[in-house]
Structure 1
């Protein structure tokens, strides 16, 4: 994680795997929370990964647990940028890859060109 200046926080392992396939950006560290965290666990994440010193992006699902996690993360990481998927997809892992690629690219992350072909 030494070379990565950006941290992308996602909920699940499937989200992390899909996004990792799409990104063409070695400057991004994908941090998986494995679902909803408590305040104490979020504070540990902030400390363990030096999140105040990095560009942080929050990319959670649009369902209730995802929104709850986003709210908690935003309280701890007021400098974080939020990335959203369209509510019709509900979950990052169910969002078409070309939509994820476009969304990540809009957040200034490099994506593999082949994932933009559906646009």
Structure 2
């Protein structure tokens, strides 16, 4: 049996965001939860574990999400930032078809049923 090398990582805030994305994606992707805030040691751990991978940041459109995004822009500048529409505010509250469109724009394979 051959192990699949996971080459993409999506960083989200919470478990509900992770579950929402897992239901939409159609390829092996590691999803890391920060649980809203992130310590320096956890940030270093993420940076080390994502070395040589495609990293995407998908956080809420609120104050804590913006703070987290700013921190990742500084510490992980090669990461690609994905944005949900501000009217949804939270990744977990955004419609699956909207999230699927956002992920697809980053060349992430999504279940076709969410592209209707």
Q: Same fold (TM over 0.5)?
A: yes
**TM-score of Structure 1 vs Structure 2, range by shorter chain:** over 0.9
1:2 is displaced (CA, Å) by 5.8
1:44 is displaced (CA, Å) by 2.1
Match status 1:114 vs 2:116:
no
Q: 1:40 to 1:92 in 2, by over 3 A?
A: same
Aligned to 1:101: 100
Instruction: Give the CA RMSD over aligned residues.
Output: 1.4
Q: Whole-Å Cα distance in 2 between the matches of residues 88 and 21 of structure 1?
A: 21
- SS of the residue corresponding to residue 61 of structure 1 reads coil
Divergent runs of 4+, >4 A = none
Where in structure 2 are there 5+ consecutive unaligned residues? none
Where in structure 1 are there 5+ consecutive unaligned residues? none
Q: Whole-Å Cα distance in 1 between the matches of residues 68 and 39 of structure 2?
A: 9
Query: What TM-score comes out, normalization by structure 1 length?
Result: 0.90
Q: Do the aligned partners of 1:74 and 1:80 also contact (CA within 8 Å) in 2?
A: yes
* Aligned residue runs from structure 1 range 35-54, under 5 A: 35-47=36-48, 49=49, 51-54=50-53
Larger fraction in helix? 1
Q: How many residues align?
A: 114
Q: Do the aligned partners of 1:39 and 1:72 also contact (CA within 8 Å) in 2?
A: no
* Aligned residue runs from structure 1 range 16-55, under 5 A: 16-26=18-28, 28-47=29-48, 49=49, 51-55=50-54
2:10 paired residue among 4, 8, 15: 8
Query: What TM-score comes out, normalization by structure 2 length?
Result: 0.92
1:45 is displaced (CA, Å) by 1.9
